[in-house]
Amino acid sequence: MEIIRFTSKKLEKIYNRAILKNRKKIEEKVKNILNDIRLYGDEALIKYTKKFDRVKLTPRQLRVSESEISSAYQNINPELVSTLKIVIENINRFYRKEIKKSWKIKDSEGIILGESYLPLESVGIYIPAGQAPLVSTVYMAVLPAKIAGVERIVLVSPPDQNGNVNPYILVMANLLKVNEIYKVGGAQAIGALAFGTKTIPKVDKIVGPGNAYVTEAKRQVYGFVDIDMVAGPTELVIIANRFSNPKYIIADLKGQAEHAGSLPILITNSKALAKEVKMKIDSQGYIILSRNLRQAIDIANRIAPEHLEILVSNPKRWLRYVRNAGAVFLGPYSPVAVGDYVAGPSHVLPTNGTARFFSGLGISDFIKSMHIIGYTKKGLERVKEPLEKIIALEGFKEHLNSVKVRFE
């Protein structure tokens, strides 16, 4: 890890890390793949699955069968089911607090105004299987959708060279009653979910992490469908001082470095701690020396990391200054690992500084709101004059007539 001061120009590189070197090249490749999927459907899916995943499938083989799911149960640790029950309860407890209730108000003139909250009808969930199958992402993405009331949940994940999806991913999805599972990955999977093919009907929203091509594909199909966020490599910022336990800091930064392309960062006002951490960690990442803890928080807000650990005394005191982070972990016994797997909130979080405007995956990602407006004649008459004046100002004659005709 490299030690830099808060005055270093390298901070700008960290703040602007979302700028990809090969962006144009990736954009063009993804654009071509998506166009092929839109025009040729299953045929293009088969072609790209053979090219990128090195396995030849037929359209019928794209969907995971019941027999494949049954076989998957034979290849997993049977303790998975009991372990999953604990996680499900934690996630349910967290997201039950987030559920929004529809509401309506009615005034003395009979005017009704309100908002109705409705679950999306269908959602596609992308589960990567590159460096390691992200089994935990299955329940972290599926459960909020289930709790929100989504009826059709579709899961896509790249097949191995034998044409199989990881058995733990299959079992996890089956236990959570995912409706459909398909053996497709990459930008082509995103295209199938967005535009639909003969085998894979389109969905309303796509969620889940992926590589640069998957992320770019999600960005390009936004508008045809909704997406959760535009994410990049995973990242962690730790704020610590001379009273923080260096063993915990080193362990957490090493844990972050296990992910390919990840960004581990320590921000501290302690030179001694910075030197100790640098000696123990031989990996990518930065140690940023700040003047004090308040400045450390300010730097973290500029970075807007996916994960932010505050490993100082009384971390709650500093929480009020945090503006931008996907998830905040308070104190020495809240490592990122607990959030990744069992705490309750989803670990599908904004990265690359997008925590400035994106949020972690939640119930609201799977719900849309519908405004309700119901006026009586008396209520319409009360607003008739200002309504007509504003319409006349904009020059829409038929809009104006649609109000006047009701009083003729």
Look up 307 and say whether it is catalytic. Answer: yes
Could you give phi then psi for residue 123, rounded to 5 degrees? -135, 140
CA distance 144 to 150: 9
Strands 2-5 and 286-289 turn out to be parallel
**What is each CA distance from 289 to 156, 270, 275, 292, 337, in whole angstroms?**
43, 7, 11, 9, 25
Angle at 205 between CA 55 and CA 187, to 5 degrees: 30
Catalytic residue among 307, 381, 398, 399: 307
| Residue of 378, 404, 324 lying closest to 108 (CA atoms) | 378
Active site (annotated) includes residue 306: yes
Q: What are φ and ψ of residue 264, in 5° steps? A: -90, 135
Exactly one of 180, 216, 235, 306 is catalytic; name it. 306
Rounded to a whole number, what is the distance in angstroms from the first to the last CA of the chain?
Answer: 78
**Phi, psi of 120, deg, nearest 5:** -65, 150
Q: What angle do CA 266, 271, 273 make, to 5 degrees?
A: 55
CB-CB contact of 227 with 255 (8 Å):
no
Residue with tokens 């083989």: 61
Catalytic residues: 306-307
